[in-house]
C-alpha cells in the first residue's frame, strides 16, 4: 500500500508540473496497485467443526488423496483459484497453532491448472486445531505471481479468519481437510477468504 500511495503522490506532482501524460500513467498504475492490495474486513462465522476458505476466488478442484504434510494420509483437497481481480489477502482456515511452514521454489505456470500445485513456487502452512487435528493450506504462485508472502511463524497461535499473508497477482490456494471432514463446496463455486465455509465435520 505504501508503494501505491507513493506512485499516486509522484503522479500528482508530475501533473502539477504539467507533465500530464507520464503523470497520468503513474497515477493509473498507483490506482491499480491501491485497488489490487485492498484488504476488506471479514467477519468469520464462529461455530465449531468448520473450515473456512483461505482465499477469495473460484473453487477449481474438490478431491481426495494424500497431502504434502501427510503423504500416506487421505485428505480432502479444496483448491481455490484467485484471478487478478480477486482480493489476494489469505486468511487462516481454522483456529489453532502453526505447526509447520515450508517454502518450495518452483515454476510459475498457470495456477488454475491442477499440476501447478506440484510444480509451481509454493508455501505450505500446517495448522493444528484445538482438537489436535492437522489442517494444511498451500499458497501457490501463478503465471503472473512472483512473490508469496507469509506472515506466520511456527508455534504461533492463530484465530480462524486471521490474515496470514498474500500472493501477488493471479494465484491459487489448496486446502487440505482432515479425514473427519467433508467438503461443503463444489467446483465452480465462488468463495471468500475468512467467511465462506468450505468444510465441516462429517456427522
Residues classed as catalytic: 171
HSE-CB for 84 with a 13 A CA cutoff: 8
Gap between the Cα atoms of 27 and 50, Å rounded = 42
* Nine-digit cell string for 120: 509451481
Q: What is the DSSP letter of 107?
A: B
- Closest by CA to 145, choosing from 181, 171, 127, is 171
Helix, strand, coil proportions of the chain in percent (round to 5)?
20, 40, 40
Between strands 122-129 and 96-104, the pairing is antiparallel
CA 57 to chain centre: 9
Q: What is the DSSP letter of 146?
A: -
Amino acid at each position: 500500500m505504501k508503494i501505491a500511495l507513493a506512485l499516486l503522490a509522484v503522479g500528482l506532482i508530475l501533473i502539477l508540473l504539467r507533465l500530464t501524460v507520464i503523470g497520468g500513467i503513474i497515477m493509473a498504475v498507483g490506482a491499480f496497485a491501491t485497488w489490487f492490495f485492498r484488504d476488506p474486513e471479514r467477519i468469520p462465522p464462529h461455530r465449531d467443526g468448520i473450515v473456512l476458505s483461505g482465499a477469495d476466488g473460484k473453487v477449481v478442484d474438490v478431491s481426495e488423496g494424500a497431502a504434502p504434510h501427510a503423504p500416506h494420509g487421505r485428505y480432502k483437497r479444496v483448491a481455490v483459484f484467485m484471478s487478478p481481480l480477486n482480493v489476494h489477502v489469505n486468511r487462516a482456515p481454522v483456529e489453532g497453532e502453526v505447526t509447520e511452514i515450508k517454502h518450495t521454489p518452483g515454476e510459475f505456470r498457470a495456477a488454475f491448472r491442477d499440476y501447478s500445485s506440484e510444480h509451481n513456487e509454493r508455501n505450505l502452512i500446517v495448522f493444528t486445531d484445538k482438537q489436535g487435528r492437522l489442517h494444511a493450506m498451500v499458497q501457490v504462485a501463478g503465471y503472473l505471481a512472483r512473490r508469496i508472502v507469509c506472515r506466520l511463524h511456527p508455534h504461533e497461535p492463530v484465530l480462524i479468519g486471521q490474515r496470514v499473508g498474500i500472493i501477488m497477482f493471479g494465484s491459487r490456494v489448496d486446502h487440505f481437510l482432515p479425514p473427519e471432514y467433508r467438503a461443503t463446496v463444489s467446483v465452480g463455486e465462488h468463495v471468500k477468504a475468512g467467511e465462506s465455509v468450505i468444510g465441516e465435520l462429517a456427522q
